[in-house]
Structure 1
Amino acid sequence: GFGNNSMSLLAGIMVLCTIFSVMPEAAGEIVGAGNEGLTFIWVPQLFAQIPGGQFFMGLFFLALVFAAWSSLVAMIELAVRILIDLGLTRKRAIIAVGSTGFLLGIPSALRLGIFQNQDWVWGVGLMLSGFFFAFAVLRYGVTKWREKFINTSDSDVRIGRWWDWAMRLVAVEAVVLTVWFLIQAGGDNFWSAETWTLFSPYNVGSVLIQFGVVLLGLLALNRWMANRIMALQDGGGAD
């Protein structure tokens, strides 16, 4: 929500500004270290320079663990819910999602380059997922969605018509930001062969190729999944 995103943005600004002010001579190295370098190399060095740094560093990484776990639970639950709708029991769905996630995560755990690639590709993918959500709402009907799923009888807050225009803006914003981000990342060598390899850590081609593979797979499964869910609903439940 708004509060979570706002606090995440403020925390990021505070950490970066603090590191740059305490260690200005290392600004270039910090910027080039990436997410994992900033988190696991430079943040500990920052805490080492403040009183009680060991204690606060422990709290920082404990909070990071809880943040990761809470996000992971939400992601697993979404996939589990889809498999349940397709007819699996909850236990089997959890095992399937957990096992798949574990297996897909092994390459990233073993090789930093793969981890950086996946962090880059699916970090950009967050903007794409925002677009798909906004697109689904637009196709369904923005006002209809708002009245049916948000302004329910159990809701403590009623959302006005401004939300309808906000969703339209989100769709446009997601497209503009994604295209701009990829063009900026490609730089002057956008059409070179190096830009269009599959697993280079920070690579426009890698993003587009992996997006394309996943989208084609989802489109191929979409009709079957929809028919399966509708058949189960008409039949009165899962197998």
Structure 2
Amino acid sequence: MAETKRSSEQASLLTVGGGEVGSDKEDSVEPEVNEKKTFSGIGLVLSCLGSVVGTGNIWRYPRIVAIHATGGGALVFLLVWFGFLWLWSVPLIILEYATGRFTKFGTVESMNRLAGPAFRFLGAWLFIVPTGIGCYYCVIVGWCLYYTVYYMVNDLPSNVDESYETWNGLQDSHWPVWCHLFSVLFGAFAVSRGVSTIEPLSKVVVPLLLGIVVFSFYWSLFLPYAHIGIQRFFTPNWSSLTDSKMWLDAITQNAWDTGAAGCAFLTYATYMKRTNGAVRNGVLIPVSNNIVSLLCGLLVFCSVFSVLIRQSYSSERILDIIADNGPANTGLTFIWMPILYNNITGGRILCVVFFLCVALAGLSSVVSLMERPIHVLSDFGIRRIPATILMGIIIFFIGLASAIDLDILVNQDTVWGYALLLNGLFCVFMVIRYGGERFRIEVVNKYGIGDWKLPRLWTFIIYVLSPLQAIGILLWYIIREIVDNEDETWYKYTRGSLIMVLTQWAFTILIVIGLNWWMKPIQYYPKDPSSRSHQILRFLIKSSTSAPIPAHHLHVTHTPDSDENEDKMQYYQVTRSDGPTTDENMYASTDEDTVL
């Protein structure tokens, strides 16, 4: 036996020649999620990219850029936005990838393993927030699906009144409910068997989406007067550097773009192998996502400027139209885009392609939004199919209110959109609690195989810059709502008021705190004392720890790395379930005879 001790509170790796713990030949170790099928290389990239390339890239990003393009151009905003990619989004996404790849669990148990059992409730908050987003997001995706089909068989509107007539006709019908149901069913089917369904669908949906975006962008570049839109997009207005709102919009938009702290990456990373780079993917995926946002922004600017300049609109008026919040915070998507395409040759086909693109982007995000809570339920021993059915029902019925009443949708968008900042704080807290340098060295650099090395600068960002950014934005949001609210309605329960947001946050936090000690995932210990699992645990207790640990406080999880192991050894993750009693655990390597 060769034994090397390393400081790791939460996990050890045991290498055993021959046999498989938890296989049918030995014993049944529940739940089946422990035997994870993993993403292929391209499957991981497409699934993660699909989870974050969504409606925020296509309609929210151009609107925010247009707000800061007035008075000159948007280049300063773009530079600050790109800077926050490296100061906020990339560090948090690397944190998510590394956590999921290391723990192989969802948010609740990952928080338990790294921060301790007293903070399970923070892990619950981490998956409740994207679940809340998913409830109303499915409604918005349903609208996109409706418009895709509607304009296949109906003429495009020629003016704003006609466009609003189409919008109001949708909202006054039952179609928002049926389209919402379709979005939920699509997401449920996509996650019903984990990687087995997520990866194939992502390999179809995401390339199709990216193909439509690239084609539409290329087409828009050759429209008349498109160059004026590009000029306003990349012209600097240096006086905007003193505008605090520009800085705050830049960081919040980057968080929306990349999905940082939404825990999609943490969840998908549980299907990663050690050879899948947490740092490499944590850099390349958000950079690729921001490139998609740039393409979508230029597509909208070129298209809108091309059409409206020919109708004698001024540049400032055009920017006001792009920056318009639109119905239910959807920007110019449902009102202005059909009108714009009506003024272009072949516009009806292009309009259908545009809404198909938005719908595909939304559906790819729905998949990841549903996977997050389902993965947590699986950690608690609930099998995937029942967990999928349960979450599908919950998301449908909670989202039903948003499908019926737009005020509720706007309220939920405000509540859970800003809650992503709390997600970022809680993720940072998890790493600080575990130890920033320890996390960087053990969980990222030593655990990963063939990955880029994470520098010390990341620890500084996590300890200092990330908390300052999140707390600063939250304080600014609260102060703005109180001081700048001319109607003094921040303390009244209206759809987007400050008191409404804080009340829902407080209610949710009280619930998860109350459930904190109940949230104890199923214990994975061998049922049969003669099984290989039992003997591995007995070996560890006897030979590999400095203090006796009851066998039922350890469990063995087969890891997928064995498929890639050249010497055909089987890898197992041995994990404490009672919280650490010593800082001294180990990585042990042995063979079958030694264990037996």
TM-score, with length taken from structure 1: 0.82
Structure 1 SS opposite 2:484: helix
CA contact (8 A) 2:304 2:340 kept: no
Read off the aligned partner of 1:126 and give its amino acid letter: L
- 2:461 maps to which residue? 166
Q: 1:180 to 1:20 in 2, by over 3 A?
A: farther
| Aligned ranges 1:81-92 → 2 under 5 Å | 81-92=375-386
Structure holding more helix per residue: 1
Read off the aligned partner of 2:287 and give its amino acid letter: G
Structure holding more strand per residue: 2
Read off the aligned partner of 1:165 and give its amino acid letter: F
- 1:109 maps to which residue? 403
Give the Å deviation of 1:102. 0.8
Read off the aligned partner of 1:104 and give its amino acid letter: I
Q: Which has the larger radius of gyration?
A: 2
- 1:77 maps to which residue? 371
CA contact (8 A) 2:415 2:501 kept: yes
- Alignment partners' CA distance in 2, 1:98 and 1:15: 34
Q: Identify which of structures 1 and 2 has the higher relative contact order when contacts are C-alpha pairs closer than 8 Å and 6+ apart.
A: 2
- Alignment partners' CA distance in 1, 2:403 and 2:504: 19
- 2:480 maps to which residue? 184
- Give the one of 486, 507, 511 matched to 1:217: 511
- Give the one of 276, 290, 303 matched to 1:6: 290
- 1:33 maps to which residue? 326
* Identity in percent: 30
Q: 1:58 to 1:121 in 2, by over 3 A?
A: same
Structure 2 SS opposite 1:38: coil
- Alignment partners' CA distance in 1, 2:355 and 2:470: 31
Structure 1 SS opposite 2:344: coil
Q: 1:232 to 1:63 in 2, by over 3 A?
A: same
CA contact (8 A) 1:84 1:90 kept: yes
- Alignment partners' CA distance in 1, 2:467 and 2:296: 25
- Alignment partners' CA distance in 2, 1:105 and 1:20: 32
Read off the aligned partner of 1:157 and give its amino acid letter: W
Q: 1:122 to 1:11 in 2, by over 3 A?
A: farther
- 1:59 maps to which residue? 353
Number of corresponding residues: 233
Give the Å deviation of 1:100. 0.7
- Give the one of 408, 413, 418 matched to 1:124: 418
Q: 1:182 to 1:54 in 2, by over 3 A?
A: farther
- 2:12 maps to which residue? none
- Alignment partners' CA distance in 2, 1:100 and 1:158: 41
- 2:521 maps to which residue? 229
Q: 1:99 to 1:153 in 2, by over 3 A?
A: same
Give the Å deviation of 1:58. 2.2
- Alignment partners' CA distance in 2, 1:135 and 1:185: 27
CA contact (8 A) 1:117 1:201 kept: yes
Give the Å deviation of 1:5. 4.3
Q: 1:142 to 1:87 in 2, by over 3 A?
A: same
CA contact (8 A) 1:183 1:190 kept: no
Q: CA RMSD in A?
A: 2.8
Give the Å deviation of 1:12. 5.8
Give the Å deviation of 1:167. 1.9
Structure 2 SS opposite 1:229: coil
